[in-house]
């Protein structure tokens, strides 16, 4: 809800459309997280470390893993949920700096880092690697044909998120977390610099 209010800050038709796309895309991930919480209540605890023995042979744990991956893909804007991230550029630049560096888009990556022990299924990891690689490739190609500075940086964020997801799908969760921290540092500063440039040129 807060992200929606921030995206529609400028109160025009483009901002309203971008805000609605953002909020509806993220609802998929929210529903998945709520379903995982409800499903884990059947086991009597939300501490998934207790269920590691069930993961190889229990169908319910595999379903929980799939839902967590879907939630992470939605939050981190992986294909096919990647359209909302460039649209969220309708927000003011300081908001974009916060959202892209350390809050909304990194939530999915952080979720998978926390649940990295659930990613034992080889087929799921292969699918995640394929989709994150496609996201990285698509974002890189799209940035070459874009002229809006903020949108170029949004696509670079999308590319970096694809890289983090592909690192996670290889089982290197510590490396993904390190990349998450370094990306948060430089992306926030980059957005602030772009905001100053846009403000000096008098063109949003």
Render pLDDT for 114-126 as a digit per residue (tens, 0 to 9).
Answer: 887 777 667 778 8
pLDDT digits (tens, 9 = 90+) for 59-101: 777 788 888 888 888 888 788 877 777 777 767 777 777 776 6
Q: What is the DSSP string of 126-171?
A: HHHHHHHHHHHHHHHHHHHT---HHHHHHHHHHHHHHHHHHHHHTT
Q: What pTM did the predictor assign?
A: 0.81
At residue 53, the pLDDT reads 62
Asked if residue 203 has pLDDT above 60, the reply is no
What is the residue extent of each domain of the chain?
Answer: 2-90+98-201
| Burial environment of residue 61 by CB neighbours within 10 A (0 to 12, 13 to 18, 19 or more) | buried
pLDDT digits (tens, 9 = 90+) for 20-55: 877 788 788 888 888 888 887 777 776 666 666 666
Q: Are 162 and 135 in contact (CB under 8 A)?
A: yes
């Amino acid at each position: 809800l807060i992200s929606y209010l921030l995206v529609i800050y400028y109160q025009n038709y483009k901002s309203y459309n971008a805000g609605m796309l953002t909020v509806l895309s993220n609802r998929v991930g929210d529903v998945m997280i709520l379903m995982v919480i409800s499903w884990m209540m059947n086991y009597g605890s939300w501490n998934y470390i207790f269920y590691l023995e069930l993961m190889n042979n229990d169908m319910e744990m595999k379903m929980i893993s799939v839902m967590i991956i879907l939630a992470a893909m939605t939050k981190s804007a992986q294909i096919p949920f990647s359209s909302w991230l460039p649209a969220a550029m309708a927000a003011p630049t300081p908001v974009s700096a916060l959202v892209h560096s350390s809050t909304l888009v990194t939530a999915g990556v952080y979720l998978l880092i926390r649940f990295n022990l659930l990613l034992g299924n080889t087929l799921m990891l292969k699918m995640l690697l394929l989709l994150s690689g496609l996201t990285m490739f698509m974002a890189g190609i799209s940035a070459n044909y874009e002229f809006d500075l903020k949108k170029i940086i949004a696509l670079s964020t999308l590319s970096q998120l694809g890289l983090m997801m592909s690192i996670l799908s290889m089982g290197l969760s510590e490396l993904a977390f390190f990349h998450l921290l370094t990306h948060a540092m430089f992306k926030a500063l980059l957005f602030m610099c772009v905001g100053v440039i846009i403000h000096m040129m008098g063109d949003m």
